[in-house]
């Protein structure tokens, strides 16, 4: 197991009880009509897992690290997370990230660390890297985990992140 898959598995295992403990009313509450509820934020993390799964799986099939983006707001609306049962959203989030951790575990170390300046991390990463600055797939995986924890802090009271970019 590599450090990224191990970290992701620890995060989702430790976050699961905190998610399950959130009261239904609190999970569904939208702080404003245009703001996401905790349930919708978790749904956004499902969409992020699916999109990043494709990115990580395709990385070894291409000569660059340029990947499709997606309209996050539209995906949350299309997937209607707010109308779904709390348990379904939580279970889907857990399963999607567990699935992603298994994929990450199969990525060869040389592919993880292969550096290129041909990427679009200036468009798709949460912690963006300037266009043309060398980076690697491992950076995008770390950024995914950072993004995941950024939102877990918003959802679970008292959640403490495990990873910051650059560790």
Tens-level pLDDT at each residue, the chain (167 residues):
799 999 999 999 999 999 999 999 999 999 999 999 999 999 999 999 999 999 999 999 999 999 999 999 999 999 999 999 999 999 999 999 999 999 999 999 999 999 999 999 999 999 999 999 999 999 999 999 999 999 999 999 999 997 654 44
Per the CB < 8 A criterion, the answer to whether 115 and 136 are in contact is yes
Per the CB < 8 A criterion, the answer to whether 28 and 21 are in contact is no
Q: Residue ranges per domain, the chain?
A: 3-155
| Angstrom distance (rounded) from CA 27 to CA 4 | 28
**Per-residue model confidence as pLDDT tens digits over 9-41:** 999 999 999 999 999 999 999 999 999 999 999
Supply the pTM of this predicted model.
0.95
Partners of 65 in beta bridges: 119
The domain made up of 3-155 has a fold known as 1.20.120
Per-residue buried b or exposed e for 11-49, using 16+ beta carbons within 10 Å of the residue's own CB: bbeebbeebeebeeeebeeeeeeeebbbbbbbbbbbbbb
């Amino acid at each position: 197991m590599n450090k990224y898959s191990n970290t992701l598995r620890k995060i989702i295992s430790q976050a699961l009880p905190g998610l399950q403990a959130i009261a239904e009313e609190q999970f569904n509450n939208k702080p404003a009509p245009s703001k996401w509820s905790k349930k919708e934020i978790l749904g956004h993390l499902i969409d992020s897992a699916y999109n990043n799964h494709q990115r990580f799986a395709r990385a070894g099939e291409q000569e660059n690290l340029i990947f499709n983006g997606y309209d996050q707001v539209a995906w949350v609306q299309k997937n209607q997370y707010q109308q779904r049962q709390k348990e379904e959203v939580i279970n889907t989030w857990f399963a999607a990230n567990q699935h992603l951790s298994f994929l990450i575990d199969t990525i060869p170390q040389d592919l993880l660390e292969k550096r290129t300046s041909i990427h679009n991390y200036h468009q798709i990463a949460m912690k963006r890297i300037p266009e043309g600055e060398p980076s690697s797939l491992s950076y995008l995986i770390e950024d995914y985990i950072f993004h995941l924890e950024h939102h877990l802090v918003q959802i679970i009271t008292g959640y403490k992140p495990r990873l910051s970019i650059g560790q």
